[in-house]
Structure 1
C-alpha cells in the first residue's frame, strides 16, 4: 500500500496561497529549494489539482532552458518532467510531461492508487488535498512554513468532521526563518 503525503509551502497563519493564487509571499533559499527537489526525486507519483498543475506546468517544463538556469533548477526541472503525475480536473482536456488526466471522482481514484504497491505519492493543491483529507487518505503532512502572515487566501487545512491525531516526525529550520514540520497520521 502506498503512502500519501500532503506537502506544501504555507504561511505562518496557515495559507498556501494569498488571494488571486499569489505565491509571492514564500521565503526561498537554496536549501529550501534543494529540499523540494529531493522530495520530487523521491516521489513515485505526484497528484495535482488543476490550479497547482497550471502553475507548475507553466514554468517547469522549460525552466532549464531559461538564461541563467542554475544547476539546481536544471535538476528540479528534469526531475519534475520525468516524475509520473496525475492531474485531477474536469476543466482541462490535455496534459503532458509524464502526466495523465483524471476527470472523475478524485477520492475514488486516490483510494485506488493508494491500494497499489509502490513508493510514496505526494498530493499537491489544497483543494484536492482537502478532499483526500476529509476522506482520511493522507498519511503524512509536510509543512514548509514561511514567517509571514498573509491574512486570507487558500488554507492548507480544510474543515474536518473529526479530529485527526498526528505524530511529529521531523522539524528543521532553514535560512530566512523557514520551518519544516513533518507529521504522520496516527492510525
Structure 2
C-alpha cells in the first residue's frame, strides 16, 4: 500500500505563510532546491487543494522560461506527476492533472490501493482534513530559520493526539532542517 505524505515548508514558529499570505520566506537555495528535486522522485502523485494547485502552476512552464538547470529539472519532474485537485470552484485543470470526483477519504483510499510510488498531499486546508481523518502516514517538514510572528499555521487545532516517530533528518548550510516523521499507529 502506498503512503500518504504531508510535505510542507514552515517557519521556525510554525507558519506556512506570513500574515500577508506570502511564502517568500521559503525560497530554497541551490542545495535545498536540489534536495527537493531528489525528494520528488519518491512520488508519482500529488493531491492538492485549489490554492496550492494554482500556485504550483508556475512549474507547468518553468522549464520553458528559466535556464537554471535545477529549476528546469524540478519543472520536468513536477509536470510528469499525476495531480488530483480538490476544488469546489474550478471546472478545469491543466497538464497531468484531474479534478477529484469523490470525497477526500474515498479518493485517498483508492489512490493508496493503486500501484505506484508515494502520494504527496498539500494545501493547508485539504491536508488538515486528511490529518483529522488520520489518513496521513508521514509528515515531511522543512523548517526555515525565520520567525514570522503570524500568518497561516501549518496545522489547525486538533481534538485528538497523533503520535509520531522521527525517521529521517537532514540539515543544510542555509540553516534549514528537513524532518520526516511517520505516524505511530496502535491498530
Aligned to 2:136: 138
For residues 90 and 175 of structure 1, the distance between their equivalents in structure 2, rounded to whole angstroms, comes to 41
TM-score, with length taken from structure 1:
0.93
Moved more, 163-172 or 111-120: 111-120
SS at 1:175 equivalent? coil
Q: Is the 8 A contact 1:27 1:178 kept in 2?
A: no
RMSD over aligned Cα atoms: 1.4
The 3-state SS of whatever aligns with 2:41 is helix
Residues 65-95 of structure 1, C-alpha deviations (whole Å, 9 max, x = no match): 225x211111111111111110111111111
Structure 2: which 5+ residue stretches go unaligned?
Answer: none
Task: Choose which of 97, 112, 115 in structure 2 pairs with 1:114.
Answer: 112
1:86-165 superposed matches below 5 A: 86-102=84-100, 104-165=102-163
Aligned length in residues: 185
Cross-structure match for 2:81: 83
Shift of 1:118: 2.8
TM-score (norm: length of structure 2) = 0.93
Aligned-pair distance for 1:104?
4.5
Matched, 1:23 2:23: yes
Unmatched runs of 5 consecutive residues or more in structure 1: none
Does the 8 Å contact 1:140/1:184 carry over to 2? yes
